[in-house]
Structure 1
């Protein structure tokens, strides 16, 4: 369903004459295949957030092992390094991959190295001797470094990195989807007309509140501080201005005015349509209740 909806929407934009040079999605295999086979003239990019989310989950899982615990303090830095590799490569796919691999040098305290006859160095300012001593660098022969190296050089990750060199995001779309859940929660079923109206309301709500400014107090930006259990570290998140719902008043005033002027007549109520919903999602019919009860009780009998 996702691939069909994606293809219909993309074809509609192309039919309208929209010039699409880059399409940014998550790492859906069906979308990847569709873009590769049917839209060869459109560059397909991945949102680094989705890739980073998967990488962070793997890093946290690995760092919980007894021999890999020294990797846990580096999780956030490794995630930040992935973002930096994509944002600073300026569309160069191979440069994006090279910068990502450089984390294997930095995390061992090596800030100058040679690769394929060329000398490279870390992009950060030179570290003082005090900073160098404070860092918990990983040893080359440690189990934590070997586990990290396996994740960093994973073939699928390196392949996907080449499709993140433009550093494009789907964050705005994710924010819109979050607004849509307020009007059309997924746990409820709506008719097509109702779903369309609720989606239009979500569009108006999003458009009114898009671009909210970072909240300030006495000229200083405000943040909220949260502790994450996964990385066991504190993080600062910006606080934005409250959303505005004044568009609802304008909408209702417009409707009432049009009714008073008789320029808006109520639509006739459509005839009720049967809801063709399955009673459950089971692919096989339900057995006799007595049989199910007997099976449950048989588990408590002694063999």
Structure 2
């Protein structure tokens, strides 16, 4: 299921920073789902330290997974920077292969963290042309079929080379190896990223919205997303799937990306129809007052300042302009 089932709206005045706002909204949303009886077995997020701490201390009975895309982005950023150095040019042709290997290690682990780690570390053997090796007294082999010289178009790295040492420092990073154990189920947050992208149509960041307006626009964004979450890939007149082709600066290669059919806005017609039917309902009296808004969880400040504003006289007494002459 890729639909949005619940959302929380956090005002800037409720927390001390955007990081704290994210953690607050996360806890509110998760607590609401648990209170409604939703059985939450696995939660997938990015590697946010605040969310990681909340899951470890408050929801230890729920398995916490990391999205491989966020980890992949960090790993490839380090490898690209390393491959740009003069002594590590031999590493550049392998960047795409390393990227594929990271995803394969997570997707083929079947929920086993140790298998995920072992397959990720096997990269250091394969990239040197070693396809059978022994580790902790156990013999391992690469999972790909035997390769001919014609199939192997890239040069193997040498263990003593600077390129291999740079790769080894990234692959064997302790923080990465620790986080890989929480990627063995191969869970993604891609649908959430798609929703955040479509949400910008309704809640532009350059504009300011009041609380009620922001809530209504978020609800519209969710309706739009849920109505188009299962779009099929577009096809040509001949019935072939459509793709667009672009150049990836990171991998220095051309890649093909699927083109999906256009979004449908039929949910808007349904909303308008329901509004008109309600307007025509004689039982609805529009002179009655609007329902009272539910009270907030706590009294919010009128601005984002964490402390109340001092009296005006006090602020004026402390005011000084740098354009005034300095008095001794």
Q: TM-score range by the shorter chain?
A: 0.7 to 0.9
Among 113, 117, 120, the alignment partner of 1:100 is 120
- The correspondence for 1:152, drawn from 164, 168, 171, is 171
Q: 2:211 corresponds to which residue? A: 192
CA shift, 1:204, in A, is 0.8
Displacement of 1:252 after TM fit? 1.7
Gaps of 5+ in 2: 1-20, 292-300, 306-317
Question: Which residue does the alignment assign to 1:164?
Answer: 183
Q: Residue in 1 aligned with 2:286?
A: 265
In the TM superposition, what is the alpha-carbon distance from 1:126 to its structure 2 partner?
Answer: 1.2
CA distance in 2, matches of 1:94, 1:267: 64
Summarize the alignment of residues 176-187 of structure 1 with structure 2, pairs less than 5 Å apart.
Answer: 176-187=195-206
Deviation by residue 1:165-187 (Cα, 9 ceiling, x = unmatched): 01001111111111211101222
For residue 58 of structure 1, the aligned residue among 62, 71, 78 is: 78
Cα RMSD between the aligned structures? Answer: 2.3
Contact persistence 2:93–2:154 (CA under 8 A): no
- Which residue of 2 is the match for residue 219 of structure 1? 239
Higher relative contact order (CA 8 A, sep 6+): 2
The 5 A counterparts of 1:1-303 are 1-132=21-152, 134-217=153-236, 218-262=238-282, 263=284, 265=286, 276-277=302-303, 288-290=321-323
**Aligned mates of 1:171, 1:24 — CA distance in 2:** 10
How far 1:287 moved relative to its partner?
6.6
1:7, 1:87 → 2: CA distance?
28
Contact in 2 for aligned 1:59/1:75 (Cα 8 Å): yes
Q: How far did 1:125 drift?
A: 1.7
Aligned mates of 1:8, 1:238 — CA distance in 2? 36
Find the counterpart in structure 1 of residue 310 from structure 2: none
- Aligned-residue offset at 1:76: 1.6
In 2, distance between residues paired with 1:266 and 1:248? 26
After the TM superposition, which parts of structure 1 deviate over 4 Å for at least 4 consecutive aligned residues? 266-270
**CA distance in 1 between partners of 2:322 and 2:229 (Å):** 53
CA-to-aligned-CA distance 1:110-134 (integer Å, 9 cap, x gap) = 11111122221111121112223x2
Aligned to 1:297: none
Work out whether residues 227 and 233 of structure 1, in 8 Å CA contact, stay in contact via their aligned partners in 2.
yes
Q: CA deviation at 1:289?
A: 4.8
Q: Is the 8 A contact 1:258 1:264 kept in 2?
A: no
Task: Give distance in 1, aligned partners of 2:287 and 2:125.
Answer: 69
Instruction: Render the CA deviation track for 1:95-145: whole Å, top value 9, x for unaligned.
Output: 10000001111111111111122221111121112223x222111111000
With 188-197 and 88-97 compared, the bigger mean Cα shift is at 188-197
TM-score normalized with structure 2 length: 0.81
CA–CA distance in 1 between the matches of 2:288 and 2:268? Answer: 21
How far, CA to CA, are the matches of 2:280 and 2:113 in structure 1?
A: 61
Describe the SS at the equivalent of 2:43.
Answer: strand
Contact 2:227–2:264 (8 Å) recurs in 1: yes
- Which is worse superposed, 37-46 or 174-183? 174-183
Structure with greater proportional helix content:
1
Contact 1:52/1:82 (CA < 8 Å) preserved in 2?
A: yes
| Structure 1: distance between partners of 2:302 and 2:124 | 56
